[in-house]
Structure 1
Amino acid sequence: MSVVNALTIDVEDYFQVSALAPHFPRRDWDTVPCRVERNVDLILSLLHEYGAKGTFFTLGWIAERYPHLVRLIALEGHEVASHGYAHQRASEQTPEAFGADIRLAKTVLEDIAGTEVKGYRAPSFSIGDRNPWAHDCIAEAGYAYSSSVYPVKHDHYGMPDAPRFPYRLENGLIEMPITTVRYLGRNLPAGGGGYFRLLPYSASRWLIRRVNEEERRSAMFYFHPWEIDPDQPVVPGTSLKTRFRHYVNLSRTEGRLRQLMSDFAWGRMDEVFLATA
């Protein structure tokens, strides 16, 4: 029997990405045309076509404006989870503000989906050595698990010394880090995101197979709806680094996702990891 991996989608629109925050203040979000409906519909169709299930870490802001998307995600058998309300990094908030944000998101999502929201993922994987208090806030808000740590070195996030596979914290919360592969003394990112677009697909396939076949563990993969949208507006005035990270290979992502669906078995976070934790 093949290993089932966890497929996760961070439901946010292109203008809510942290790197583009200087160009789209939160106070102006309501004035920006959204593209998330079209993109989530495409993802749901893709998962249905391949018989895959996934976990949708959804912004409360998105859920309030597009409640039918959240209901459809739940209706089609996927897990509805929380990405917070306003896509603010945990590391840039006080414990009080962070706690209020994630409690609001949980309430909004549960009211709309009609199901319990067990999981939370911090925007930009913004929980690390500098804000360990965030895990206590997540537990106090009633979440069963977090997927907010990426055990890699990165200029915007990362906790390279964290465990590579799900672990239980002293407060009872289970942290489910994004998948990495240990190679030549360092952790290589194996869980998708920008690396999935920027590197050849063969790299992602090799990394996930290594976790499945050599370590005999389930992997966790993530991407965003805007990553399958090559027609999204190009934001003027962005840095070369931001343009490279955000726009390169958008036209190839859907095709690569189809390869990913064909090469591996995919399920929800709560069913792949939470039941065995």
Structure 2
Amino acid sequence: MDVEEAQDMNFNIKWKKTPDIDYKEPIEWFIKHSKNKTATAFVLGSFAKKHPEIVKELSKHVEIASHGYFHKLVYTQNFKDWEYELLKSKEILEELTQKEVIGYRSPSWSMPFEKRYYEALAKGGFKYSSSYFPMKNYLYGNEINKKKPFIVSTKYGDIQERPIPKDIIPFSGGFYMRVLPLFLLKHFFKKHKDAVMYIHPYELIDKNLLRYFLKYAHINLDYFLAFFHLGSTRKKIKEIVNG
């Protein structure tokens, strides 16, 4: 799970006002349905500062990893600013949970596939990254199609990169999982037995979400990409996890 607030997403959504969302209930749902499963929560430092009790509770049940401090596209940031926020998020999460943070996922898989970023991760005490999206789109992704976990060696140590799974198209989370029919998702997850699923807390709100978010945001294409078929997320996750 990428633990962030709805307004943190990088889609070009024109917000009327900040969404008033209780994130406790959807995260409790995630905890319940993660039992006896391997799960990681990639938490924004800013979310942890705002919702410390939620993150503390999460840490009792799943691994806590860093999602950076703010949900900024890494390729738009100055490298030193990104590195500072990376270490700041790690420090906040470790202080809050009293556990070592060794994993990182860049916001929207936006970390450039360059050695210096992996060096910064290794130097900062990280062991793995899940920042590689094996397909290019207008917002994120890589043109080099690496589908399996691989090692990036640096002078500070090795970082394991764990790409998001992809078949002919990505399928394991976000818009892709919401738009694809359940039978096709089951086929892909059965075919890719090591596939990881990714979700966001706002995708698990138990409401008619497309209509719910109308009071907070103007409609455009990115609004559609962000909120289309959100009501299907819980059902699909239960079917896939239990299957």
Fold conserved between structures, TM > 0.5: yes
Write the distance in 1 (CA, Å) between the matches of 2:148 and 2:98.
Answer: 30
Q: Give 1:192 deviation, angstroms.
A: 1.8
Change (3 A) 1:86 1:21: farther
The corresponding residue for 2:198 is: 222
Higher relative contact order (CA 8 A, sep 6+): 1
Kindly indicate whether the alpha-carbon contact (under 8 Å) linking 2:65 and 2:101 is maintained by their aligned counterparts in 1. yes
Write the distance in 2 (CA, Å) between the matches of 1:236 and 1:82.
Answer: 28
Is 1:105 paired with 2:89? yes
Match among 34, 42, 45 for residue 47 of structure 1: 34
Kindly indicate whether the alpha-carbon contact (under 8 Å) linking 1:149 and 1:175 is maintained by their aligned counterparts in 2. yes
Q: Which amino acid aligns with 1:206?
A: H
The corresponding residue for 1:3 is: none
Kindly indicate whether the alpha-carbon contact (under 8 Å) linking 2:74 and 2:111 is maintained by their aligned counterparts in 1. yes
Q: Give 1:127 deviation, angstroms.
A: 2.0
Q: Percent identity?
A: 25
RMSD: 2.0
Aligned residues: 235
Write the distance in 2 (CA, Å) between the matches of 1:97 and 1:141.
Answer: 14
Kindly indicate whether the alpha-carbon contact (under 8 Å) linking 2:44 and 2:89 is maintained by their aligned counterparts in 1. yes
Q: Which amino acid aligns with 2:73?
A: R
Write the distance in 2 (CA, Å) between the matches of 1:142 and 1:190.
Answer: 31
2:140 alignment partner, SS class:
coil
Deviations 1:110-144 (A, max 9, x none): 11111111100000100235x55322222222111
Q: Give 1:32 deviation, angstroms.
A: 5.5
Kindly indicate whether the alpha-carbon contact (under 8 Å) linking 1:12 and 1:36 is maintained by their aligned counterparts in 2. no
Change (3 A) 1:18 1:39: same
Kindly indicate whether the alpha-carbon contact (under 8 Å) linking 2:106 and 2:131 is maintained by their aligned counterparts in 1. yes
Match among 184, 187, 193 for residue 203 of structure 1: 184
The corresponding residue for 1:68 is: 53
Matches within 5 A, 1:107-122: 107-122=91-106
Kindly indicate whether the alpha-carbon contact (under 8 Å) linking 1:57 and 1:80 is maintained by their aligned counterparts in 2. yes
Change (3 A) 1:119 1:201: same
Structure 2 regions of 5+ residues with no counterpart? none
The corresponding residue for 1:14 is: 6
Normalising by structure 2, we get a TM-score of 0.89
The corresponding residue for 2:116 is: 133
Change (3 A) 1:155 1:64: same
More strand by share: 1
Kindly indicate whether the alpha-carbon contact (under 8 Å) linking 2:14 and 2:218 is maintained by their aligned counterparts in 1. no
Structure 1 regions of 5+ residues with no counterpart? 1-8, 213-217, 264-277
1:169 alignment partner, SS class:
strand
Q: Give 1:21 deviation, angstroms.
A: 6.1
Kindly indicate whether the alpha-carbon contact (under 8 Å) linking 2:171 and 2:180 is maintained by their aligned counterparts in 1. no
1:189 alignment partner, SS class:
coil
Write the distance in 2 (CA, Å) between the matches of 1:39 and 1:149.
Answer: 26
Kindly indicate whether the alpha-carbon contact (under 8 Å) linking 1:11 and 1:57 is maintained by their aligned counterparts in 2. yes
2:90 alignment partner, SS class:
helix
Is 1:245 paired with 2:225? yes
Matches within 5 A, 1:166-181: 166-171=149-154, 172-181=158-167
